């Protein structure tokens, strides 16, 4: 089935802030996009990039009659906003199609076009100077910062001062859910984010499998987190909480019990659900007082109505706002208070509980995490160590509860000398299995049996 985001759709919504243009303008703009789309699809990547450069940068040196008439109109009309919008969407047409054809390394070369020294020089031509200034302005804009995220090909330890690049997957989700972005940008963001998250899940599963087996030291896999060996103890601790009262089972039980509840009763039960099995009294107290007060005031006009899926989704999204950021910029006071208690695991578990009630809220949650990352990005990693630790733990927990990797805990050594009590995590080993790999293996075995019959 074709992805609706793969094409340069003519009905893509105009960007906000654009003044009304005549129909002829949008027809010419769409033809411009279609020409670029044909180039990136039909030509080898290097040749397609050369055409992109000639289109936007070629006349930085001399005004050429071969330059697109559409861009000429923007230059002579002095419409920088529309030029930058056109340039941005053109970039994502190339990024998206290179990604689909597994040519993502070309993004680096596209970004390098904006580092040309000639862009810094003045000329005798006012039009060329205007174009160079617009290109430089775009290269220094938030839009270009978003574009640079697509040059990140992995999640893992980075150079000091760039800790936020480990969490590009969340920042890309923020681009995907923003309906003001073009279809091409949203598609590229979704695809890259999914790939990075799947890579993290795979690397984490392989690390847990090989790091526990001394006979496999020659096949050492790198730890995709910055938690060190502590990540193994973290995973074991999470898996040991499974069973009758696992977070998933408790969420399912809550949904069954509140299926026909009035919204006011639902909110009261929701607070009890969020506090259930939380082991730190101070953490529970903050949730009951701060979050309880906010919940009681939430959507009071619906208190006497039966809860429904839409109201559940809205409520979970507001809970995420209360816990992470209420203004989509600064961390909420609740987040700062909870994290100051020194246990980011509880905060991550709290968010997991919310998403288990409303899986459709996960993208919203990741977009709010992107807001958090953007706020702390100017700080050095040592200055926001608790934030980094929270993000690492969050990533591990949601990898464990994902749908494409199964984690299990197996006890490999019994209690010594018959000493009773709760077994330690050292007596267990983590086993992980890809659901897709298991399905392929089962299918192959079934086909072999059919062939033998």
Q: Which residues of the chain have pLDDT under 70?
A: 1-20, 59-67, 152-161, 212-220, 242-245, 408-409, 411-453
The 3-state secondary structure of 389-421, one letter per residue: HHHHHHHHHHHHCCCCEEEEEEECCCCHHHCCC
Question: Within a 10 A sphere around the Cβ of 423, how many other Cβ atoms?
Answer: 13
Nearest to 56 by CA among 123, 110, 125, 124: 110
- Sequential DSSP letters for 284-323: HHHIIIIIHHHHHHTTGGGTTSB--HHHHHHHHHHHHHHH
pLDDT of res. 429: 66
pLDDT of res. 428: 64
pLDDT of res. 218: 47
pLDDT of res. 445: 59
Question: Within a 10 A sphere around the Cβ of 113, how many other Cβ atoms?
Answer: 16
pLDDT of res. 306: 96
Coarse DSSP helix, strand, coil percentages of the chain, rounded to the nearest 5 percent: 70, 5, 30
The DSSP 8-state label assigned to residue 433 in this structure reads: E
pTM: 0.81
Rounded to whole angstroms, how far apart are CA atoms 119 and 133? 7
Per-residue pLDDT tens over the stretch 108-124: 999 999 998 888 888 88
The label of the residue with tokens 């681009």 reads: 175
428: β partners: 411
């Amino acid at each position: 089935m074709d992805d609706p985001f793969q094409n340069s759709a003519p009905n893509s919504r105009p960007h906000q802030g654009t003044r009304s243009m005549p129909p002829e303008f949008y027809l010419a703009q769409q033809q411009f996009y279609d020409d670029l789309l044909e180039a990136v699809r039909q030509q080898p990547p290097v040749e397609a990039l050369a055409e992109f450069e000639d289109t936007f940068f070629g006349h930085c040196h001399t005004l050429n009659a071969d330059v697109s008439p559409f861009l000429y109109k923007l230059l002579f009309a002095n419409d920088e906003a529309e030029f930058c919008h056109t340039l941005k969407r053109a970039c994502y047409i190339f990024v998206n199609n290179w990604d689909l054809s597994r040519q993502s390394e070309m993004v680096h070369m596209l970004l390098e076009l904006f580092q040309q020294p000639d862009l810094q020089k003045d000329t005798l031509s006012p039009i060329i100077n205007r174009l160079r200034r617009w290109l430089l302005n775009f290269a220094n804009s938030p839009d270009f910062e978003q574009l640079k995220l697509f040059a990140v090909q992995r999640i893992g330890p980075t150079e000091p001062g760039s800790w936020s690049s480990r969490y590009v997957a969340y920042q890309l989700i923020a681009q995907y859910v923003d309906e003001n972005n073009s279809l091409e940008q949203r598609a590229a963001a979704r695809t890259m984010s999914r790939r990075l998250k799947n890579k993290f899940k795979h690397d984490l599963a392989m690390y847990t499998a090989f790091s526990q087996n001394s006979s496999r030291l020659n096949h050492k896999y790198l730890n995709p987190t910055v938690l060190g060996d502590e990540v193994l103890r973290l995973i074991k601790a999470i898996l040991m909480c499974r069973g009758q009262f696992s977070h998933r089972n408790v969420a399912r039980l809550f949904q069954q019990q509140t299926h026909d509840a009035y919204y006011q009763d639902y909110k009261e039960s929701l607070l009890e659900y969020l506090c259930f099995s939380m082991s730190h009294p101070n953490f529970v107290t903050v949730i009951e007082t701060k979050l309880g007060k906010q919940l009681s005031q939430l959507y009071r006009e619906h208190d006497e109505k039966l809860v429904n899926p839409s109201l559940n989704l809205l409520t979970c999204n507001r809970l995420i706002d209360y816990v992470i950021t209420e203004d989509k910029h600064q961390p909420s006071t609740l987040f700062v208070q909870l994290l100051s208690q020194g246990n980011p695991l509880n905060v991550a578990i709290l968010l997991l509980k919310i998403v288990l009630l409303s899986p459709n809220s996960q993208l919203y949650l990741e977009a709010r995490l992107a807001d958090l990352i953007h706020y702390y990005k100017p700080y050095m990693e040592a200055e926001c160590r608790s934030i980094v630790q929270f993000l690492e733990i969050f990533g591990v927990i949601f990898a464990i509860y994902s749908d494409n990797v199964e984690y299990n805990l197996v006890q490999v050594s019994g209690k010594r000398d018959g000493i009773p009590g709760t077994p330690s995590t050292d007596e267990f080993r983590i086993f992980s299995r890809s659901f897709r790999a298991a399905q392929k293996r089962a299918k192959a075995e079934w086909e072999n049996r059919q062939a033998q019959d």
